[in-house]
């Protein structure tokens, strides 16, 4: 199996230690702090548009209320997705995937695109995101990586765009990780960093898979993980981890 060579440091939801998560401002901050790749979340509006957003509901990171799956793009676009973070980001909108791709192309940033489907829309979201990436991903960038906690989303993405590599996201380290990665034809496992052990990292590497971990914000922890053979860390503070690998 050929594993795409991603950089060792990936900005989490842009650089969400410095700017509101999953916004254009956060993506720009990641580039400002030296990241070469960013991770961000995608889901569908009610009318089928792909937005960059994490939660099923909008309350935590906007001034609105309600479920994303119940809102059209026009309603989502008027929400303030930055004021909750600080006054300096007030008025920052929820981006579409197309808008995120445009700024990635401008900045020369690679992208780990997480599929974060609303409940019941797993296959639909996986298919839509994969098709959009296959059709519109900027030609000046390395091919993206699709990741998801949802096996159904990953399977739909694989069927829609088999040429885009995939990673399985997990909170608990699964005993049957070999079977899961094989069945979903994934290049990598992305796991919660505290669930990883040296033995697990070695087993994944020996099996030919990449292992990346989230969310790593402590330099000492990052150094230990790299010492275990981890290929990448996903972090809110890219500059902290970049100092370990430069």
CB 69 within 8 A of CB 75: no
Cα-based distances in Å from 171 to 87, 232, 245? 33, 16, 25
Strands (E) in 69-187, as ranges, are 110-115, 145-148, 166-170
Distance CA 69, CA 49 (A): 10
Distance CA 203, CA 138 (A): 34
Q: Which of 18, 49, 54, 190 is catalytic?
A: 54
12 is an active site residue: yes
What is the 8-class DSSP label of residue 118? P
> For residue 11, which of 3, 165, 32 has the smallest C-alpha distance?
32
18 is an active site residue: no
3-state helix, strand, coil in the chain (%, to 5): 35, 20, 45
Phi-psi group of 185: left, alpha or beta (phi > 0 → left; psi -120 to 50 → alpha; rest → beta): left
Pair of tokens at residue 47: 């009318």
Q: Which of 12, 18, 49, 190 is catalytic?
A: 12
CB 233 within 8 A of CB 225: yes
Query: Which residues carry out catalysis?
Result: 12, 54
């Amino acid at each position: 199996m050929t594993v795409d060579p991603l950089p060792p440091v990936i900005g989490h939801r842009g650089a969400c230690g410095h700017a509101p998560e999953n916004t254009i401002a956060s993506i720009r901050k990641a580039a400002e702090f030296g990241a070469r790749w960013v991770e961000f979340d995608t889901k569908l509006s009610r009318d089928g548009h792909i937005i960059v957003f994490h939660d099923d509901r909008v309350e935590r990171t906007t001034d609105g209320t309600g479920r994303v799956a119940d809102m059209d793009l026009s309603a989502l676009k008027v929400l303030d997705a930055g004021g909750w973070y600080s006054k300096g980001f007030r008025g920052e909108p929820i981006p579409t995937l197309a808008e995120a791709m445009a700024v990635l192309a401008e900045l020369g940033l690679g992208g780990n695109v997480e599929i974060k489907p609303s409940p019941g829309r797993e296959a639909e979201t996986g298919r839509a995101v994969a098709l959009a990436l296959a059709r519109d991903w900027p030609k000046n960038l390395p091919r993206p990586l699709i990741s998801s906690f949802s096996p159904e989303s990953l399977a739909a993405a694989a069927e829609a765009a088999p040429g885009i590599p995939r990673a399985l996201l997990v909170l608990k380290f699964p005993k049957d990780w070999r079977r899961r990665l094989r069945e979903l034809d994934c290049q990598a496992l992305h796991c919660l960093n505290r669930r990883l052990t040296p033995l697990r990292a070695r087993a994944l590497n020996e099996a030919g898979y990449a292992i990346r971990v989230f969310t790593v914000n402590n330099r000492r922890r990052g150094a230990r993980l790299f010492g275990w053979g981890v290929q990448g860390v996903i972090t809110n503070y890219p500059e902290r981890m970049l100092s370990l690998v430069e």
